[in-house]
Amino acid sequence: MADFKKQKVGLIYKVAAFVAFLFLGYLGIRSYKESVEKLKINGCIDELGEIVRNVQDMMGRNASGYKGLDYNLAVSLQFFPKQMFREGFNEAVNTYLGGVDLFYSSLGEGNVDGAYEISFQGLSSMACKALIKLKFDTLIAVGAYPSATPSGVLDEIYLSTDPKDIKSRYIFKSEQTGFISENVLDDVCGCSDDTCTVVWKFR
């Protein structure tokens, strides 16, 4: 009887040890995935920041605004960091290997090329939530979507646009980005795979 109890206790310890091993393995994998995710997000932040600096340095003080600015011109003027042209891809991609775009946009009625937009596609939900909250001195508005989104979605968003008028369209003025609730972030960045898109508009 005592031997049976010892065997039973031993079995319980073995099962507990096995469960603990699986749990620690799960935590390790999860921790690794979160670390990789943070690296990718930081990579996107660096890429976006460099693009904005390059555009501002080259065209920001141009009297004609951003006239003619599009993806092809951005490539020829080397606005995209070199690391965005990755092996196996014909065009620039972000750290998530999603598409990027850059094009002129209207600053207001009658000023059709006084601003520009940048879009990052193929993002994870976590990346979308982080990138939509970024702050830039020249940022006008930002929009986020759970799927690929065509260019120009922020074209009619101006400095004078009332934030209340665009909130239902998943678009936020620059002064709102630090105050987006988790519930709203879940809605606008609700992609299950890496299909989210974030679009920024700058002046």
Q: Considering only CA atoms, which of 109, 117, 132, 113 is closest in space to residue 196? A: 132
Number of domains in the chain: 1
* pLDDT at residue 14, rounded to an integer: 60
pLDDT at residue 9 greater than cutoff 70:
no
Residue 99 in tokens: 């598409």
The C-alpha atoms of residue 161 and residue 164 are separated, in whole angstroms, by 9
Band (pLDDT 50/70/90 cuts) for residue 149 is: confident
User: What integer best gives the mean pLDDT of the chain?
Assistant: 87
Angstrom distances, CA of residue 141 to CA of 36, 95, 186, 196:
28, 22, 19, 17
* pLDDT above 70: percentage of residues in the chain: 84
List Cα–Cα distances, 67 to 39, 63, 64, 115, 136, in angstroms.
Answer: 34, 10, 6, 9, 22
Specify the DSSP element, H or E, that contains 120.
strand 115-123
Report the pLDDT value the prediction gives residue 139, as an integer from 0 to 100.
97
**β-strands 171-173, 196-202 pairing:** unpaired
- pLDDT at site 7: 57
SS3 assignment, position 203: coil
pTM surpassing 0.85? Answer: no
100 sits in which H/E element? strand 100-105
Strand partners, 126: none
Q: Once rounded to an integer, what is the mean pLDDT over residues 47-72?
A: 90
pLDDT of residue 8: 55
pLDDT by residue (tens digit) across 111-139? 889 999 999 999 999 999 999 999 999 99
Nearest Cα to Cα of residue 100 among 131, 129, 65, 59: 131
**Amino acid residing at 74:** A
User: Taking residues 172-176, what's their average pLDDT?
Assistant: 94
pLDDT at 21 over 70: no
Q: Does 57 score more than 80 pLDDT?
A: yes
Domain that holds residue 175: 2-202
Q: What is the mean pLDDT of residues 29-46?
A: 86
Instruction: Spell 125-157 as b/e; 16+ CB within 10 A means b.
Output: bbbbbbbbbbebeebbbbbbbbeebeeebbeeb
Q: What is the pLDDT of residue 189?
A: 95
CATH label of the domain that carries residue 58: 3.30.1690.10
